[in-house]
Structure 1
Amino acid sequence: MSARFQRREALRNRALLLPSALLLLVFVIYPAGVAVWTSLTNEAMTGPGALNPRFVGLGNYRRLLADGSFWSSLAVTFWFVLGSAVIGQFVLGLLSAILLQRPFTGRMLLNAIILMPNAVPEVVAAFIWASMLAAGDYGTLNNVVAWFGVEPQRWLTTFPLTMIIVVNTWRGIGFAMILMTSGLAAIPSDLYEAARMDGANRWQRFRRITLPLLVPTVFLYLLVSTVSTIAIFGLIFALTRGGPAGATEIIGIYIYNQSFNSYQLGYGSAVAVVALLISLGVGLLYVRALKVDV
């Protein structure tokens, strides 16, 4: 192969990558750079910071470390991600994938029901659940539990974090099921046959064959799901706006409140930069766990 042909191929490959690189630059790298710069200023939407922003260095970050509300929002985010993405969606998605591997009447209908929430936009899903969780006799859930003699509840006030975990789990089961199904399909059936002939029961086959061979798929799912769940905004904003009393104020809601309710763009950008670093750190941990070179 001539050197000229190799150079031409390399130039063509770079040209093919150019549109993606430009999109990445315009919609990811540039906004991140602007957020980093803004986080180093006292820029605001009102007052002196709006008229003439000045450079404050790491002042916003020092304030952030001493802000109890910031740490509270991080704790809420942690439990929200753990409860909905890591536990709820993963466990139910894996169980759904295993169940749908077996032929039975209504299999396609169940598959469609599980996948349907993925097609519903965040805000639409929030309004659906707001109707279901409404207080008094108008809420669907209150009408259901009334059949069992349970008094009507104010679900989004009494159990706010639990309810948004349930809602987000409902939305994400379909995605988890798709990935788990692809992982299960990649496991050779010969392994199960050999284990069955050796006397292994279902639990042993699942623990010794399915789970170990499913680990790469599980880590891929956890990477995508964790990062996307940290970034959720519209679902919770439409349901609770972070309330009551900050009980559902995940990091995205906290950034919005600081930037557009308190009008402190510099401080809100500092929180956004920290959230970005947390997401990058989580992503690197998952990639290292998968032993993938980056």
Structure 2
Amino acid sequence: MVSPSVLVLLLWMIVPLSMTIYFSLIRYNLLYPGENEFVGFENYEFFLTDEGFFAGMGNTLLLVGFTLLITVVLGVLISVLVNKAFWGRGIVRVMLISPFFIMPTVNALVWKNLLLHPVSGVFAAVWTFFGAEPIDWFTHYPLTAIIMIVSWQWLPFAILILMTALQSLDQEQQEAARLDGAGPWALFYHITLPHLARPIAVVVMIETIFLLSIFAEIFTTTGGGPGYETTNLAYLIYSQALLQFDVGLASAGGLIAVLLANIAAFFLVRMIGKNLTEA
């Protein structure tokens, strides 16, 4: 009964993958139609030795690493804060989660034109109010600006997962610890944080998979520049395919990116599996 579905899924994956592998082994540039001779692994070698690859790889790791750090740390702290009962808690929770449903392009435009603009942005107004000179973020700190934008987009996801996990925290265990003299820090470190270990692992895995392919925020704000300052692997592949029209080189880059993503996913799955087993 499931054979047709399995066959369709296999075709859905295998056909594009096979075409990508084929294009990566030939010289296929849209500016030179007809020159489609077999070049073997020449595209892979050119992609791996291109200066843009090392810059893109480094920026990808920095973007993923700092975004995970910001979203996990702030996600845990905010989730613990809003887990306490207070007036208007429902409204606050909705407001905390709502940025996750904003489209990445809209998110980037809001930050670029309303918050980080060096003349009319909110940050510039705050800097000017305190007598400081406004910062042109996308010129002097472009990667930091991208990390801020992406972190703001993904922080609500971490809050949602962690806040939901806190609902199942054993209240009787906490009350018993308080009766034994445990303070707020002891409760957080010995009870709350271990309880959030599995949800944090899930947040890290899911966010890493999506953060490896961040594109809209970079395309909308910096265009990968200045130079290679904000170029990640996804934007590098785009520039080679649709700006340089080199489909063969972009296909090789895409397969390398897929390989790296699968390696990252493998270790993340093992980490989560170990976490679940120990729990």
Q: TM-score, normalised by structure 1?
A: 0.86
Unpaired stretches in structure 2, ≥5 consecutive residues: none
Instruction: Return closer, same or farther for 1:176/1:135 CA change in 2, 3 Å cut-off.
Output: closer
| Post-superposition CA distance 1:158-209 (Å, at most 9, x none) | 1101111111111111111111112222332232223223322222222222
Out of 159, 166, 171, the position equivalent to 2:148 is 166
**Equivalent residue in structure 1 for 2:74, among 83, 89, 92:** 92
Aligned equivalent of 1:259: 241
- Aligned equivalent of 1:268: 250
Q: Is the 8 A contact 2:118 2:137 kept in 1?
A: no
Are 1:33 and 2:15 matched, yes or no?
Answer: no
- Select the residue among 279, 290, 293 that pairs with 2:261: 279
**Cα gap change, 1:112/1:42 in structure 2, threshold over 3 Å: closer, same or farther?**
same
Matches within 5 A, 1:145-156: 145-156=127-138
Q: Which residue of 2 aligns with 1:78?
A: 61
Q: Does 1:22 align with 2:8?
A: yes
Code of the residue aligned with 1:138 in structure 2: it is S
Name the CA distance, whole Å, in 2 between partners of 1:60 and 1:288: 32
Return the letter of the residue paired with 2:240: Q
State the match for 2:89 in structure 1. 107
Matched, 1:221 2:203: yes
Q: Which residue of 2 aligns with 1:68?
A: 51
Corresponding residue number in structure 2 for 1:43: 28
Tell me, in whole angstroms, the C-alpha distance in 2 between the residues paired with 1:24 and 1:121.
30
Distance, in Å, in 1 between the alignment partners of 2:116 and 2:81 is 33
Matching residue within 181, 190, 198 for 2:172: 190
Q: Sort the Cα spacing of 1:127 and 1:24 in 2 relative to 1 into closer, same or farther, 3 A.
A: farther
Corresponding letter in the other structure for 1:178:
L
Determine if contact 1:133/1:155 at 8 Å carries over to the other structure. Answer: no
2:219 maps to which residue? 237
Deviations 1:80-133 (A, max 9, x none): 11111x111111222221111111233233222222211211111111111125
4+ long deviations beyond 6 Å: none
Residues 117/23 of structure 1: CA separation in 2 closer, same or farther (3 Å cut) = farther
**28-37 vs 238-247, which deviates more?**
28-37
Structure 2 distance, partners of 1:112, 1:24, is: 39
CA separation of 1:25/1:187 partners in 2, compared to 1, >3 Å: closer, same or farther?
farther
Shift of 1:271: 1.2
Match in the other structure for 2:36: 53
Aligned-residue RMSD, C-alpha: 2.0
AA paired with 1:175? F
Matches of 1:81 and 1:222 in 2, distance apart?
Answer: 10
SS in 2 for 1:137: coil
Sequence identity percentage: 29
Q: Determine the C-alpha separation between the residues in 2 that align with 1:237 and 1:243.
A: 10
C-alpha distance in structure 2 between counterparts of 1:91 and 1:272, whole Å:
32
What is the identity, as a one-letter code, of the residue corresponding to 1:283?
A
Q: TM-score, normalised by structure 2?
A: 0.91
Note if contact 1:133-1:156 (Cα within 8 Å) is conserved in structure 2: no
Determine if contact 1:42/1:54 at 8 Å carries over to the other structure.
yes
Q: Distance in 2 between matches of 1:190 and 1:20?
A: 47
Measured in 2, the distance between the counterparts of 1:287 and 1:134 equals 37
| Partner-residue secondary structure (3-state), 1:152 | coil
Contact 1:133 1:154 in 2 (8 A): no
Name stretches of at least 5 consecutive residues in structure 1 with no aligned partner. Answer: 1-10
Contact 1:135 1:152 in 2 (8 A): no
- How many angstroms does 1:79 deviate by? 0.4
